[in-house]
Structure 1
Amino acid sequence: MINTIIFDFGDIFVNLNRKASEEAFRKLGLAGMTPELDQLNDLFEKGKVSEQEFLDGFSKEIPNATLDQIREAWNLIIGDFPLERLEFLQMLVGKYRMFLLTNTDQIHIAHFEDMVGPTFAGDFYRCFEKVFYSYEMGMRKPDIEVFNTIIRKYDLDPRKTLFIDDKTENTDAAKQVGIKVWNLQVGEEDVMDLFDKKFEAV
Structure 2
Amino acid sequence: MIDTIIFDFGDIFINLDKRATIDGLKKLGLSEWNEDLNHLNFSFEKGEISRENFLNGIQKHLPNASLNEIENAWNAVLLDFPLKRLEFLQKLSLKYRLFLLSNTDAIHIETFEQANGVSFYSDFYQCFEKVYFSFEIGMRKPDTEIYNYLVAQHGLIAKHTLFVDDKKENTDAAFSLGFNIWNLQVGEEDVTDLFDKKIISQ
Task: Give me the TM-score of the superposition, normalised by structure 1.
Answer: 0.98
- Structure 1 vs Structure 2 CA RMSD: 0.9
CA apart distance, 1:201: 3.8
1:1-202 superposed matches below 5 A: 1-202=1-202
Question: Partners in 2 of 1:200 and 1:70 — Cα distance?
Answer: 42
Question: Partners in 2 of 1:179 and 1:19 — Cα distance?
Answer: 31
CA apart distance, 1:200: 4.6
Question: Partners in 1 of 2:29 and 2:70 — Cα distance?
Answer: 11
Question: Partners in 2 of 1:176 and 1:160 — Cα distance?
Answer: 14
Runs of 5+ consecutive residues of structure 1 not aligned to the other structure: none
CA apart distance, 1:198: 2.2
CA apart distance, 1:22: 1.7
Question: Partners in 1 of 2:94 and 2:120 — Cα distance?
Answer: 19
Question: Partners in 2 of 1:41 and 1:163 — Cα distance?
Answer: 24
Is the 1:125–1:131 Cα contact (8 Å) retained in structure 2?
Answer: yes
Question: Partners in 2 of 1:126 and 1:11 — Cα distance?
Answer: 19
Question: Partners in 1 of 2:105 and 2:195 — Cα distance?
Answer: 31
Q: Identity of aligned pairs, percent?
A: 56
Question: Partners in 2 of 1:119 and 1:21 — Cα distance?
Answer: 27
Is the 1:134–1:140 Cα contact (8 Å) retained in structure 2?
Answer: yes
CA apart distance, 1:137: 1.1
CA apart distance, 1:32: 2.4
Runs of 5+ consecutive residues of structure 2 not aligned to the other structure: none
CA apart distance, 1:27: 1.1
CA apart distance, 1:112: 0.4
The Cα offsets for residues 107-145 of structure 1, whole Å up to 9 and x where unpaired, read as 000000011111100000000000000011101000011
Is the 2:194–2:200 Cα contact (8 Å) retained in structure 1?
Answer: no
Question: Partners in 2 of 1:182 and 1:199 — Cα distance?
Answer: 8
The Cα offsets for residues 65-110 of structure 1, whole Å up to 9 and x where unpaired, read as 1111100000000111001111111111120000000000000000
How many residues end up aligned between the 2 structures?
202
Question: Partners in 2 of 1:187 and 1:56 — Cα distance?
Answer: 34
Is the 1:55–1:71 Cα contact (8 Å) retained in structure 2?
Answer: yes
- In the alignment, residue 20 of structure 2 is paired with which amino acid? A
Which aligned runs of 4 or more in structure 1 are off by greater than 3 angstroms? Answer: none
